[in-house]
Structure 1
Amino acid sequence: MTVNIMVVEDEIIIAMDIKERLKKLGYTVPAIVASGEKAIQKAEEIQPDLVLMDIMLKGAMDGVEAADIIWNRLRFPVVFLTANTDIKTIERAKKTQPFGYLVKPFEEKELYTTIEIALARHQAEIEIRKALEKEKELGELKSRFVTMVSHEFRTPMATILFSAGLLEKYQSIWHEEKKMTHIHRIQTAIEHMTDLLNDVLVVGKAEAGKLEFRPAPMDLEGFCHQLLEDIKHADKECHPLELTIQSAVSNACMDENLLRHILTNLLSNAIKYSPQNSPVQFQLLCQDGQAVFQIRDAGIGINPEDEKQLFEMFHRGTNVGNISGTGLGLTIVKKSVDLHQGQIAVESEPGVGTTFTVTLPLNLDSQIS
């Protein structure tokens, strides 16, 4: 790997000598500049791996001031070169968090050792920064997860406790129909919590790289028909659902479980975010070795500012209001599409509706042999 080192030195003979030494040691010198102002401009332009900076530069800005800007604004490591070793200068230089300090004249061995240590330290700091950012991100995700779970579990648990309490109190005087009403409410609440836990498990497996992808031959048309019937039953016929299949499919090979995650989430969202009796259209088109699934609704739509975060965990649209949800469904959809090596696209207009288009390879036999 080539290491690019920019040299900042206003004595041209010294600068050329340093350049030759660096080249001899295997480094590349993309630029030599003679002033602090030029050093900042050139560093931003060429993005060096390290800057060798003379402290005593001609002009309004010395090397210490230039190094401070290069590090704090651009985050490129700086090693100072100087013949000046007075305490005041060293204290000023220390405040810029330099990655090394070479006193002229220096040997090639000193130059090489200082540069390698500076590069290693900089790389270590990058890794630490990434780890801290990841830890912060995980902390935020945990917080959002706890908030989501506590919120989503509260309503069904309250339903279960309320119905169970009524059954216990009035079971001897209620007729069977009244009892069954509350039993069904309990069952529905438990199903909701089970679905939530299943979503959490799927996302957890996907994040850990353990979500299995098992494509196998399947009856794609029959699958879509049965899925739509299941969705209609769950929706209690509150929305007109229409399935259109264009061209016959005889050789589909997909992961049926992941495909169910994709289509169930998209169809459920289309229903959930659409007014009652608003139509939802489900279309399947097979051509050129691909299956194209399109789900169109006339619901609340997606605000433009939400589209960039659409598939992020726990993200929910700013216009969903009091409509319940976990922010996990579309994350599962995206990860399932990716495992199929497919694509997903969305077109939406707030107040008009949304169309999701999922394109998957129709036959993955060659990828599982």
Structure 2
Amino acid sequence: MKPVKILIVEDESIVAMDIADKLERLGYEVSGCVDSGELAIETVAQTQPDLVLMDIVLQGDLDGIQTADHIKNNFQIPVVYLTAYADKNTLQRAKLTEPYGYLLKPFKEAELNATIEMALSRINAENKINQQLKLSEQLRQKAEQLSEIRSRYLCITSHEFRTPLSIISLSAELLKEYNDKMSTDKKNEHLNRIQRALKNINQLLEEVLTLGKAEAGQIKFYPERIELSSFCYEIIDEQLLSYHYKTEVEFLTKGECGGACMDRKLLRHILTNLISNAIKYSPDGTPVSLTLTCENNQAIFTIQDHGIGIPPQDRERLFEPFHRAINVGSIPGTGLGLAIVKQCVDLHGGEIWVESQENINGEQSGTTFTVSLPFHTKP
């Protein structure tokens, strides 16, 4: 444990030397002896002592009380007065600076030690109280943030649920009222609408829960060794099956990825959302590519499509929850996928960036997402 550093501010050098000797015998560290308020302020700034022993009568333009007030307001370092003055006016001025002690000269070593120990005890108690207050404030702010997150997601999710619920309600009502008059094809059409709406609701719930947990800091990062090539093939197969093989996904690998260690669940969110978007926003039969490059202890995933592209005004808001580009039209989606991707990339300590050209008047278009994730050490 480091000794307590004490600065002595005393205009009489013999008295200052005597106090310094007493302090050293008591086991304290003397950070300096100065004789003026100006020097005291300068020395406090340089040495940051734990306590200042301050005489009231000093050389220079500042007396001890003015100096103590400056030190309190600018450095938050406690002061104990050592003075021969005990008149009412001096005491009243000194009290305004909220000192940690007031010791009258001449004093004995034991009295000095007792005053310092009482001051240090008060300092420790106040520090503990301040730490508890700071912790309480942090917890209060965290609670407010969590409450705000819950309220925001409840409000937005309630709004997003209305469309699929309306579809389910309308289709179910039509099937109920006109079941006998409907053709088999028409019935199947309404049943398919209900199934798609239910799928959208389920997806929305899953994504809201995932993103809400991420923003609330409730998703933990658990890296494990992953064979990245096999993992990428697995994700690609899942997405092709989900979209009924409406396109092809070309997969290329570069470099040695044997040392990859990442969070499997978070990586699945990243690749699933980016590959799904590439397929979803591309015309049928338009190829999509995934390139995996391993170099410098990091994996770089590049997902490229030749789809509708992203308008410039939407690119800055890509990772905002529920934001969708203005050109998506009737293409289904919740607007949460990229927000989840960003959270998962951040948890990996990685980076994500996008390049895109919007499809205007039939011009060449498409989007490329690049994700860089560092290799981690398995805990």
TM-score (norm 1): 0.71
Identity of aligned residues (%): 28
Show the counterpart of 2:145: 141
Q: Given that residues 199 and 329 in structure 1 are in contact (C-alpha distance below 8 angstroms), is that contact kept between their aligned partners in structure 2? A: no
Matched, 1:359 2:374: yes
1:96 and 1:229 mapped to 2: Cα distance?
73
**Superposition pairs of residues 305-316 of structure 1, within 5 angstroms:** none
Show the counterpart of 1:340: none
Output the amino acid matched with 1:215.
E
1:177 and 1:222 mapped to 2: Cα distance?
38
Show the counterpart of 2:201: 189
Q: CA deviation at 1:67?
A: 2.3
2:132 and 2:53 mapped to 1: Cα distance?
24
TM-score (norm 2): 0.70
Show the counterpart of 1:178: 190
Output the amino acid matched with 1:256.
R
Q: 1:254 to 1:124 in 2, by over 3 A?
A: closer
Q: Given that residues 251 and 290 in structure 2 are in contact (C-alpha distance below 8 angstroms), is that contact kept between their aligned partners in structure 1? A: yes
Output the amino acid matched with 1:21.
K
My pick for the range that moved more, 228-237 or 172-181, is 228-237
SS at match of 2:230: helix
Matched, 1:198 2:199: no
Show the counterpart of 2:128: 124
Show the counterpart of 2:224: 215
Alignment equivalent of 2:265, drawn from 237, 257, 260: 257
Q: 1:270 to 1:287 in 2, by over 3 A?
A: same
Q: CA deviation at 1:292?
A: 1.8
Output the amino acid matched with 1:286.
C
2:248 and 2:115 mapped to 1: Cα distance?
75
Q: CA deviation at 1:302?
A: 8.1
Q: CA deviation at 1:280?
A: 8.7
Show the counterpart of 2:235: 227
Show the counterpart of 1:344: 350
Q: Given that residues 22 and 28 in structure 1 are in contact (C-alpha distance below 8 angstroms), is that contact kept between their aligned partners in structure 2? A: yes
Q: Given that residues 79 and 118 in structure 1 are in contact (C-alpha distance below 8 angstroms), is that contact kept between their aligned partners in structure 2? A: no
Show the counterpart of 2:363: none
SS at match of 1:31: strand
My pick for the range that moved more, 294-303 or 87-96, is 294-303
Show the counterpart of 1:15: 16
Q: 1:223 to 1:113 in 2, by over 3 A?
A: same
1:42 and 1:320 mapped to 2: Cα distance?
59
Q: Given that residues 163 and 186 in structure 1 are in contact (C-alpha distance below 8 angstroms), is that contact kept between their aligned partners in structure 2? A: no
Structure 1 gaps of 5+ residues are: 307-314, 338-342
Q: Given that residues 270 and 280 in structure 1 are in contact (C-alpha distance below 8 angstroms), is that contact kept between their aligned partners in structure 2? A: no
Structure 2 gaps of 5+ residues are: 179-185, 327-333, 358-366
Q: Given that residues 256 and 295 in structure 2 are in contact (C-alpha distance below 8 angstroms), is that contact kept between their aligned partners in structure 1? A: no
How many residues end up aligned between the 2 structures? Answer: 340
Q: CA deviation at 1:220?
A: 1.7
Output the amino acid matched with 1:85.
A
SS at match of 1:97: coil
